[in-house]
A and B are shown apart, each in its own frame.
Chain A
């Protein structure tokens, strides 16, 4: 576990300095959000609404698939944020691609991005519906000016 993650567990993002990287965790849970085609607004780990802050500069992201994604068709899943790019974290990728089946994937971003407002994190499901799945998406960012 990175040292900044340990520190965050103790003091939370709001008490970290501006130049310390922050992490926020979002949850996709099929049991709550369903799996129909469309963009799902991810929640915090307790299932409550959550957003990344305005001016956040996303530096990296990773996701932890705790319940394997399933589909009766050829579903694809993209990860991103509302308004500033629905696929800036992960471009649309088959649900059974290695990117989503391994226990934890360290994801390079499609594009680093400075957010232009408080933004929800999205999982966009296309081509077919998901029928199961649960994953945590960890997004690291710096506070921009």
Chain B
């Protein structure tokens, strides 16, 4: 695989025909809230 990643995270992947697929940057997954401690 040949290509590069732009500063904004967009990925360019070389295709067999000499052109590139453009893959948008992945959005960061939302952070999971910490599980509450069970009350004793």
A contacts, CB < 8 Å to B: 33, 37-41, 49, 82-83, 85-87, 122, 124, 126
User: Are A39 and B4 CB-contacts (below 8 A) given A82-B12, A86-B12?
Assistant: no
B contacts, CB < 8 Å to A: 4, 6, 10, 12, 15, 18-22
Other A-B contacts than A41-B20, A82-B4, A82-B12, 4 sampled, CB-CB below 8 A, are A39-B12, A41-B18, A85-B6, A124-B22
A124 to B10, CA, bound (A): 12
A37 to B24, CA, bound (A): 12
A93 to B6, CA, bound (A): 18
A91 to B8, CA, bound (A): 13
Q: Is the CB of B19 within 8 A of A83?
A: no
- Residues of chain A within 8 A (CB-CB) of B4 are 82-83
A38 to B14, CA, bound (A): 10
- Residues of chain A within 8 A (CB-CB) of B18 are 41, 49
Q: Which of A33, A37, A83, A85 meets B22, CB within 8 Å? A: A37
- Residues of chain A within 8 A (CB-CB) of B15 are 38
Expressed in whole angstroms, the minimum distance between the Cβ of A19 and any Cβ of chain B is 30
A122 to B4, CA, bound (A): 13
Q: Is the CB of A122 within 8 A of B20?
A: yes
Q: Is the CB of A38 within 8 A of B19?
A: yes
A11 to B5, CA, bound (A): 38
Q: Is the CB of B20 within 8 A of A39?
A: yes
- Residues of chain B within 8 A (CB-CB) of A41 are 18-20
A127 to B39, CA, bound (A): 51
